[in-house]
Chain A
Amino acid sequence: EVQLVETGGGLIQPGGSLRLSCAASGFTVSSNYMSWVRQAPGKGLEWVSVIYSGGSTYYADSVKGRFTISRDNSKNTLYLQMNSLRAEDTAVYYCARASAANTLDVWGKGTTVTVSS
């Protein structure tokens, strides 16, 4: 079964760092485009970052320079390193797989990040 499971969320103070993980099963992370999408409380979906199968990475302007997406092929796991966290980064963070048609077709259940003092 194709599945994504996110972990690593929690309560963190402004300015702090957190690393999210997304463990994949049923498919190979390194062979796919993998993205992070977030949803602030009561708000809509916001694309955050992508890592392409070739290793290229891209970020939304709102997180550029603060967040880093990466993957560990041996663990079949996607990561999101989040530094210099702000209150506006508070959200549920989902990892998602992009299909060949660049559709985000498989989503995890999400992990909650709360940035507050």
Chain B
Amino acid sequence: GNSVTQMEGPVTLSEEAFLTINCTYTATGYPSLFWYVQYPGEGLQLLLKATKADDKGSNKGFEATYRKETTSFHLEKGSVQVSDSAVYFCALEGEDGQNFVFGPGTRLSVLP
């Protein structure tokens, strides 16, 4: 079945550091890929998405590119802020419309 793997956290960075959170997936065909963010005490918010190969999703300074050849969708941000501290979930929906499969989440802590 479909699955999503993320780098294990927690990830601790200083403000203005560069962020990469790795995400790889296993799925047949061409799934849609997503990054969700969960701020402390809150629900899930869609951060960005990509629905076909080579698409780049971007939002709030975060980017991720759908790489079919490496089955990856790594999340990046050039300069993180304290307010980016949250748990980040990579997720996919299968090409056949199967419901979401979430990765285990990566906790990011940004220190001032």
Partners in one complex: no
Give the B-binding residues of A (Cβ under 8 A).
none
